[in-house]
Amino acid sequence: GAGVSQTPSNKVTEKGKYVELRCDPISGHTALYWYRQSLGQGPEFLIYFQGTGAADDSGLPNDRFFAVRPEGSVSTLKIQRTERGDSAVYLCASSPTPGQGIGDTQYFGPGTRLTVL
């Protein structure tokens, strides 16, 4: 696995439904980030994991959003009771342990385009 992978690439759901978005980081990367990118805007930080723990979840917009990384590798972003305003591209990135120069470079996946009807 050369890069960060995200599944599904596209997800269409109805308002009020629950969705899960998956991120598979680069092997060996301890840091994992989730971002949300709306049309015409830059990525908006949601949450950062170092290993299994969420070290910074200050970007999660409300309690409908939750993310896990139980084994320190794959992460799942979960959105409950989806709203039309949640429609966006959800990006995942990984990096080696941050704060060590090389570790500060984030490698991004292709994203999951979520559409809430």
Partner 1 sequence: AQSVAQPEDQVNVAEGNPLTVKCTYSVSGNPYLFWYVQYPNRGLQFLLKYITGDNLVKGSYGFEAEFNKSQTSFHLKKPSALVSDSALYFCAVRDMGTGGFKTIFGAGTRLFVKA
Using CB under 8 A, list all residues that contact partner 1: 3-4, 31, 33, 35, 40-45, 48, 50, 55-56, 58-59, 91, 93, 98-99, 101, 104-111
Q: Please, which residue, 73 or 106, has the CB nearer to partner 1? A: 106
Strand partners, 91: 35
Looking at the Cβ atoms of 16 and 53, the one nearer to partner 1 is 53
- Taking the C-alpha atoms of residue 62 and residue 76, their distance in angstroms, rounded to an integer, is 17
Which candidate, 62, 73, 63, 85, places its Cα nearest to that of 27?
A: 73
CB of 77 to partner 1, least distance (A): 16
114 within 8 A of 89, measured Cβ to Cβ: yes
Nearer to partner 1, 25 or 43 (CB): 43
